Amino acid sequence: MRDKVVVITGASAGIGAALAERLGRDGARLVLVARRQSELDAVVARAGDAVGIAADMTRRDDVARVVREAIARFGHIDVWVNNVGRGISRPPSELTDEDIDQMMLVNVKSALYGMQEVLPHFKSRNAGQIINISSMLGRVPYFIPRSAYSASKHFLNALTANFRAEVQATHPGIQISLVSPGVVATDFGLNAVHGGVDSRSIPGGQSAEEVADVIASVIESREPDVYTRPGAREMIAKYYADL
């Protein structure tokens, strides 16, 4: 991990902030990205060799700027972590066009922009790794109020798999990995569109630090598809076997 250049989006809180601190302790050189400058600055101060860039990952021009500034600062990028995401609390029968558009913009387009904008740099080196943070709800749609969020993560999962197949056909040195947490004890639920319960109050949630440890292991192993919770694969298999 030492001296790897890692870009982490959504780095001002939650999983992104925990990952920044974890990788900083391991000696990585970090580019931390978020919209909220003051919160981002606080994480940068705790993350070792790190620089913060205030940017909105739902704007392609901002994503392209982050790529340019990261390369200007460190000379290259080794790993790009797409960690921007937002939940929603509304049953499918009540979803509006705006609800769907918001979920697709934040949870899918932000990752697509990251993948597309960093790809030419990775291709020039035939090296690099993109890590997309998905969700167990992207495999098993078992919570009705998160229907549009779950659908957006299903979309992200398919996009990731197809992006990997396309890129590796010509550039096998580039890996595109998917990491799927379950409930994480952060303020994610409170920040959902239309509000929601505090994810920290849900029994059995993982800490952001536990999830960060798994993501760090994926950087080392370069595995393509990883769940952060033990037993997740078996639970998913049972869900589909019982349909």
Judge whether 149 counts as a catalytic residue: yes
Q: 142, 149, 227, 240: which is the annotated catalytic residue?
A: 149
The secondary structure of the chain as a DSSP string is -TT-EEEEESTTSHHHHHHHHHHHHTT-EEEEEES-HHHHHHHHHHSSSEEEEE--TTSHHHHHHHHHHHHHHHS--SEEEE-----B---GGG--HHHHHHHHIIIIIHHHHHHHHHHHHHHHHT-EEEEEE--GGGT----GGGHHHHHHHHHHHHHHHHHHHHHHHH-TTEEEEEEE---BSSSTGGGSBT----GGGSTTPBPHHHHHHHHHHHHHH--SEEESSTTHHHHHHHHHHT-
Catalogue the active-site residues: 149
